[in-house]
Structure 1
């Protein structure tokens, strides 16, 4: 990415926070709204997955060509980064509760719900962070919580890593459960039953894992319940 391309991309990312959108040096004045373009792109990803997003597919929503979209979003990778930050606006939840643990749980569940609303976010690796203002807001809010707890500086980065990883993993599993139909659930149960029949000493071989108590009896609720329990566990370790 050239310096000019990077500069234009950052201007697009921060367009609502103090920068101005780049304008073409020649040709007709831009007529589309970047926010509308990103809404359309996110809609495609929400419905059909990230692989379905292309500048051609997005441009077609506006009766334009892929080349005509370039002045608005840049390259496809820049489009994906813009989408990622665009959908990541921090929700205006009420001031959390009275405890630090409640504060942290509110943050984790809000990010979890964001990933459920846009499951394709888990397809974007951390190395592809958009580095935009909305994603920055999430980090700032989390570090603010850790700061109020007076968590030592050397523990904050590991805590951040654990929390983001837990949210991402649990949301990815919850999204997979949501896509699983009755046949898929039945197939999973059939494999489990067959395993117990064919390996009758399974519990003796793996006493710890087979004896692990679930966080909730409802398997579809397990990702959310597991995230809440993990946040509480981490809260106890940090406080």
Structure 2
């Protein structure tokens, strides 16, 4: 890549411009042969198959039938490429029916976010830390915060509710991706049973829980259980706030 001259905006502004530029905005230079959406989707295909570490400018360029230097005309580097992949992979936020109670809306919101992370496990690691977020990602936050309107929770509490839900969804999606199954309880049970064999006196409570889970066919309740407990707690706060 050519060095950035003193008149160029800082890298952060480059990323803001890339993510927030309106679609089909005219650009200087030769007529583009690629779109940012096509580039992002090419990266997503690689990341879905082989993980985020496998995504390189060279590999994406090859999948698109262009040179790496040609790809740099559209995307300055991997940081920007991954940001575009997040925007495209997560997609636009879901439309939540306004006639539903806030709890039902947040439950539906969290489940749809979980579905996006399950489809694109690499997005869990890609969406951490301080970074520039695009309109789709912020749109998801907007939907969740808007669902809490009328609850008398203040702004900080609304954001904390979103953080709790996202944390549960991200953690479960990461665990499920690591064991490559939709039923984490069923996947864990055989390994735990083998480890506990011969150590029953040391881990009686754990052994009983594993045996009980196995008797229930290892039913996958992790997502449901976590969402219910989080929303139960929020419901108590909302009810107390309304009564005060």
Listed as ranges, the matches of 1:3-152 within 5 Å are 3-16=9-22, 20=25, 23-24=28-29, 28-93=30-95, 95=97, 98-127=100-129, 129-152=131-154
User: The residue matched to 1:30 in structure 2 has which SS?
Assistant: coil
Q: Is the 8 A contact 2:61 2:68 kept in 1?
A: yes
Q: Aligned residue for 2:241?
A: none
C-alpha change, 1:16 and 1:142, in structure 2 (3 Å) is same
CA distance in 1, matches of 2:32, 2:73: 8
RMSD: 3.2
Q: Aligned residue for 1:229?
A: 228
User: The residue matched to 1:148 in structure 2 has which SS?
Assistant: coil
Q: Aligned residue for 2:196?
A: 196
User: The residue matched to 2:148 in structure 1 has which SS?
Assistant: helix
Q: Is the 8 A contact 1:90 1:138 kept in 2?
A: yes
Cα offset, 1:158, TM superposition = 2.4
Cα offset, 1:39, TM superposition = 1.1
Q: Is the 8 A contact 2:148 2:158 kept in 1?
A: yes
Query: By percentage of residues, which structure has more helix?
Result: 1
Deviations 1:16-46 (A, max 9, x none): 37x936545xxx4322111111111111111
TM-score, normalised by the number of residues in structure 1: 0.80
CA distance in 1, matches of 2:85, 2:75: 10
CA distance in 2, matches of 1:88, 1:173: 19
CA distance in 2, matches of 1:197, 1:209: 9
